[in-house]
Amino acid sequence: MKKALVIITVAFLFCSTLIAQGDNESSRKSLKGLTGVWVEVTPLDPDVERGGLSKDQIQTDVGLRLRMAGLKVLTREQMLVTPGMPSLEVELGTFKGNQSPIQEIYSYSLNVSLDQIVNLTRDPQVSVDASTWWTAKVGVVGAAKLNELRNAVNDHVDKFINAWLSVNPK
């Protein structure tokens, strides 16, 4: 498993960053009428935190960006009583590698998604938690440039905000 991750990391050094998006007309419709979200940032790898990037920084950045755009940041209690229980999930996974003779590098995967409860059209009695909008990115960053991960998160949150604004004009 570790060998496979090393190979993937080295391959990323020679490839451009990969980006995937679940941002389209259909997914944007699921954002219409959304007035607030609960923000959940997954815990970061301890090496990344020691390198200067914290979960709290990301949580603060995301919340500030959403509020500035006019979207309310819900508490967990508010989210639980909001129709659809909408939450913006920010997942930043990293793998520290020592393959570069020049510096330590991190391969990373970033996923930003809006998760909410939806009902099946074939059986409206059935409700499931689903990601109705998402964007993802994988790449490599040097240990000296961990702040680029923070910027990547902010860029993807901005994509969410732009999608939200496209169906909820002010």
pLDDT digits 0-9 by tens, 108-132: 999 999 999 999 999 999 999 999 9
Residues across the chain? 170
Q: Looking at the predicted structure, is the pLDDT value of residue 13 above 70?
A: no
Confidence band (pLDDT; 50, 70, 90) for 100?
Answer: low
Residue 100 belongs to what domain range? Answer: 2-167
pTM of the predicted structure, to 2 decimals: 0.84
Counted domains in the chain: 1
Q: What CATH number is attached to the domain comprising 109?
A: 3.40.50
Give the number of other Cβ atoms within 10 Å of residue 104's Cβ: 14
Provide the token pair at 144. Answer: 């000296």
In the sheet that 127-142 helps form, which strands lie side by side, from edge to edge?
18-22, 127-142, 105-119, 87-97, 36-41, 72-74
Backbone angles phi, psi at 150, to 5 degrees: -60, -45
